[in-house]
Structure 1
Amino acid sequence: MRVWLSTAMLLCLLSTAWAGDDWHYTLRPGDSLWKVCQQFAQTPQTCWGKLARHNDLDDPHVLHPGDTLLVPTSWLKEKPIPATVDAITGEVMLYPASGGEPRRLSNGDVVGFGDALETAANSSARLRFADQSEVHIKPTSLLVVTRYRRFLNHQNERTELRLQRGNIRNRVSPRQSDEASFEVYTPGAVAAVRGTEYYLGVDGAETTRNEVIEGRVDVGARGTERQIEGGYATLAHVDEAPIEPVALLPAPAMEVTASHTGVVAAWHTQSEARSYLLELYSQPAGRLLNQDYLSSGHWQKELPVGDYRLLVRAVDENGLRGDESWHAFSVPAPPIEPEPVPEEEDAHWDVWVFMGAAALLLAL
């Protein structure tokens, strides 16, 4: 049964997320309004005064590093690049931060600051940012896009998301700065990265699970921070600190056989795995077509002609999903059956017909 976001919950999620069409600049030591305007504004001579009023600053000469300065994007030299969605499967809803009517997303649609995205049980989408970072939103998920990086040349911009429930896979483009450029908040923890590939999931708003494929993710909760390297994972229950990192279960050794009738995948089971997560993607679009949890090392499906990628991950007793096993394959068109050869006609058929007709006339 499909359960969409209630109006009350939506207003609660979005009430603090929207700040209009502004660029969020994080102040650094030594920053001043004049320096910010000189570096980013089209008309720095008049920008600084308007910027003070736009941010309701009591004293424009007193700024605190770490605070956020809101700069209207129309004042900026560089054109901002919006976040867009693609690879949509099924029905994916967008709840605008401005309070407008919810609408169904289509490929290429723009996502603004504070917008909430919700996927149904058999739906998914991919969210793309200006720096080529990607977030793949899995089925039955609710994600609020608090803010995101919109300029390629501004190194101090950050992307902040809130995953209320469900699962996402993040591929974050590396940054030159050592500061975290990508943060995801959940009801029980926060995951901060500079550049990496990792998964994040929220189970019923009670447990946050983080599995790191490459790089490093800093996961913090209840005053405790864990540094999770590639090949490791952690989980955090609400109001509890994250557990010590545990090794991901190894990627299943998978064999895939494809023909015009479909595909068969098989892999050796692992003693520590309680189940296996399987995901099927179309290529080259990267749309998630199918997601299954299996108890055995066997899967098969009839598929139309096309190119695909199959992902299998072992799941341990804590619900942490292991390393990735990817396999690309193609389903070919069925073989063309040769046309039947017509039987050779009797060369003397016409002669026999003529002779028969002549004999009949003579008899008459």
Structure 2
Amino acid sequence: MSIKAREIIKYMEELAPKSLAEDYDNVGLLVGNRESLIERILVCLDVNSKTVDEAISKKADLIISHHPVIFKGIKRINEDDPKGSIIYRLIKNDIGVYSAHTNLDVAHGGVNNYLSSLLGLTDISNLKDYKAEKLYKIVVFVPHDNVDAVRDAMSRVGAGWIGNYSDCSFMTAGTGTFRPLEGTNPYIGATGNLEKVDEYRLETVVSQKDLKKAIEAMIKVHPYEEVAYDIYPLEINGKQYGMGNVGVLESPKSLEEFIAVVKEKLNVKNVRVIGGIGKKIGKVAVFCGSFDREVMEAAKSKADVLVTGDVKYHDAMDMLEMGMCVIDAGHFNTERIIADRLVELIKENFPQVEVMKSNLEEDPFKIC
């Protein structure tokens, strides 16, 4: 069995909205056709010559990667250029690539959330606030007999969610007026006559990512030929997305004990440690991939230790001066974990598709 690529893309962009990506990033469908039929998917961290070979040998139609296959400007696509050769072979073998990068890092249920859970953290919150979900209010005028159907339709696609409450709305009774003109097919009334109808003003809140779906669902079930509705941008925000996470261990551990947990959960033999020898660990900050100085102060004030990757020498010196404790488990190790989770999620949502995790990927750095 197969499914259109656009269905997979739709799911991925609900999981990790593209609007969450950093401005410098390049996410989405980077190679391929949204209308392609997908039977097999390969999930990986990086799209390189090995993973492309693997995708070809396993007859994958789509690669879902964390790191974008096209990141910086490309001047040529040919077999003589390392990056061009990869893209050339993807196109030649009709393999699409969808990449979810910094948007997947910060998404709820994304890389940082999954890393936090894997390390046994609870009470997980944002390490540093990043972006807030923009909210809108939809106001639509509906005949009394149809108001429940319209509200239910919008709620089923994401409108009316406030915290852990669904189907949130407000209704005010009133009178609507209209005059059907020539060429119309009114649900109520006759051409040329002024009609007065008992209606409800139905209003609800919806996030930016669900706005289009809510409008389409509302119009589909609304009985009127021309639907009267308004959209108001709100000053208040919805979900707050963060750079990194911070959480609490079930019980405090020595630094040495916690390092053992990190090694076990990330399946690594060695990590780099900055400061904190002999320290008790209760609160843990995580920041997947490459360390970013923007979270340094937050990690210092909110956590006993920071788990991250790719810490530079001068940043490490500053961390020591600040009295921080940091575990550098590597870029590869702190992000490759999301491949397992993506395989699970895609299998759950698309059982008709074969989903495989790459088994050829490895950390480019070797401990000798």
The structure that has the greater radius of gyration is 1
TM-score of Structure 1 vs Structure 2, range by shorter chain: under 0.3
Q: Report the TM-score, using the length of structure 2 for normalisation.
A: 0.19
From the two aligned structures, give the one with the greater helix fraction: 2
Bigger relative contact order, structure 1 or 2, given CA contacts below 8 A and separation 6+? 2
From the two aligned structures, give the one with the greater strand fraction: 1
